[in-house]
Amino acid sequence: MTRTQPKLGRLGGLVLLATSLLGSSVFVVPVLGVQMAGSGALVSWLLLISFMLPMALVFGRLGRTYPHAGGVSHWVGRALGPRAEWTIALVLISVIPVGLPAALLLAMVFLKQLIPLPKPYDLLAQLSVLACCYGLNRAGLKASAWVQTLIILGTLAFICALAIATPVSLAASTPRFDGADLGSVFQAAGLMLWCFLGLEIVANLAEEFKDPDRDIPWGVFGGVMLAGIVYYLCSATVIAAGFEQVTAEALILVAQAHFGPAGAIALSVFGFAACFASVNTYVNGFSRGLWSLADEGKLAGFLARRDSREVPTGALNTIMLVCALCTLIFYLDWFDLPQLILLANAHFVLVYLAAMISAVCLLRGWARVVAILGTMACLVGYASLGWAAVYGGIVLAVLAILAPRGAASAPAATG
């Protein structure tokens, strides 16, 4: 039985997942893909979407069958036992000190295009964004869904306007190699894979769905499809623009060429809004994952506190405090943005790997076959992280050692 009063429907889940998948990547990664593979980047997107949709269906199947705010950690508990559940839950939650500050820095990339932010005003801007996320989270999950619906509709409208103004012809949007070698196509797909990190968030929100059996599979499938279409359209727009040499500012140049300075401003506004929506979605998911563990007696009791809107205030306040402190620490330039992203990716790939292994144990039929392939893909992806993979392995080992031996299993889910 669900422990919350469900508020999310199919559309709300789709929007929350799509905004977590898009984030800052929407105006950045499609350009990088074209730089690497030219028009072959469209083939890369098709390959990646073809891979991600079955994986999304596995997440949807697990979420429908075992709806629980613990998300991936709950599935791991059912498949591998309570110690593994506790370990994976903390692997995901421990991404907060590096992942959320990295997302705030990405938001600043777009905000600085709009407003000059010399030190220390850029730090104040990051903390202000964090405060806005806190306020929106306190307003409840339904408020987040409404705000993020407006953000994604505006972003989609702007991208479509760019595509029409360019214009994106049938030839420019048709997948082809045009001299791109197969290696660069797969290399671009490997880069683009990070655009789809975020599937685990819908798992943490599983108990918030009014009808998990119906809404979670559609939300996951629809979110991945929507994000994939947006990314594909952005790449097609860059290709159709006909640059002799594609630079990282390609989409900004396209916006300026068709809409003048206002176009570049609009792109920065929507880029910042997409980053904000992504951070907000992760805060929603992390706070509910932390609350779930505390509610089951696996973490300190104060983390299980909720307010009248059923917002997990104990977990939310803790996450905000940790993120604010880490933002201050990283402001001292201990790590740069690429390093923070790599560290965060190590956490996420380990969580995805755990989800796929759990699916192999819990599911049958086609879903199990896809989960086996997903497990192999996660292992390859993890190995590609280099030094960050060593960091992730150390985090996993430390948490596994600290995992309480007497932890109780999660209660059986219904679905």
Query: Residue 304 sits in a domain of what CATH number?
Result: 1.20.1740.10
Q: Is the CB of residue 323 less than 8 Å from the CB of residue 345?
A: no
pLDDT at 336 over 60: yes
Note whether residue 39 is domain-resident.
yes
Q: Is the CB of residue 314 less than 8 Å from the CB of residue 321?
A: no
CA angle, 372 as apex, 366 and 375 as ends, to 5°? 140
Choice between 6 and 85, residue whose per-residue pLDDT is larger: 85
Note whether residue 380 is domain-resident.
yes
Q: Is the CB of residue 39 less than 8 Å from the CB of residue 31?
A: no
pTM recorded for the entire structure: 0.77
Note whether residue 4 is domain-resident.
no
CA angle, 155 as apex, 215 and 266 as ends, to 5°? 160
* Alpha-carbon gap, residue 126 to 105, rounded angstroms: 7
Instruction: pLDDT band for 127, please (50, 70, 90 cuts).
Output: very high
pLDDT at 411: 39
pLDDT at 415: 33
* Spatial CA neighbour of 131 closest among 369, 157, 139: 139
Note whether residue 414 is domain-resident.
no
In Å, what is the CA distance from 362 to each residue of 11, 32, 300, 369? 27, 37, 29, 12
Note whether residue 5 is domain-resident.
no
Note whether residue 350 is domain-resident.
yes
* Alpha-carbon gap, residue 8 to 59, rounded angstroms: 17
Q: Which of 3-17, 28-42, 116-130, 302-316 has the lowest mean pLDDT?
A: 3-17
* Alpha-carbon gap, residue 87 to 79, rounded angstroms: 13
In Å, what is the CA distance from 334 to each residue of 205, 276, 328? 33, 24, 11
Instruction: pLDDT band for 194, please (50, 70, 90 cuts).
Output: low
Q: Around Cβ 339, how many Cβ atoms within 10 Å?
A: 16
pLDDT at 123 over 60: yes
Q: Tell me how many domains the chain contains.
A: 1
Q: Which of 3-7, 178-182, 382-386, 403-407 has the lowest mean pLDDT?
A: 3-7
- % of the chain with per-residue pLDDT over 70: 91
Q: Which residues of 22-44 are buried (b: 16+ CB within 10 A; e: fewer)?
A: bbbbbbbbbbbbbbbbbbbbbbb
* Spatial CA neighbour of 34 closest among 223, 263, 253: 253
pLDDT at 114: 87
Contacts of 378 (CB under 8 A, 6+ apart): 349, 352, 353, 356
pLDDT at 179: 60
Structural domain boundaries, residue 153:
10-402
Q: Give mean pLDDT, residues 289-309.
A: 85
Note whether residue 413 is domain-resident.
no
Note whether residue 59 is domain-resident.
yes
* Alpha-carbon gap, residue 369 to 48, rounded angstroms: 18
Q: Give mean pLDDT, residues 44-70.
A: 81
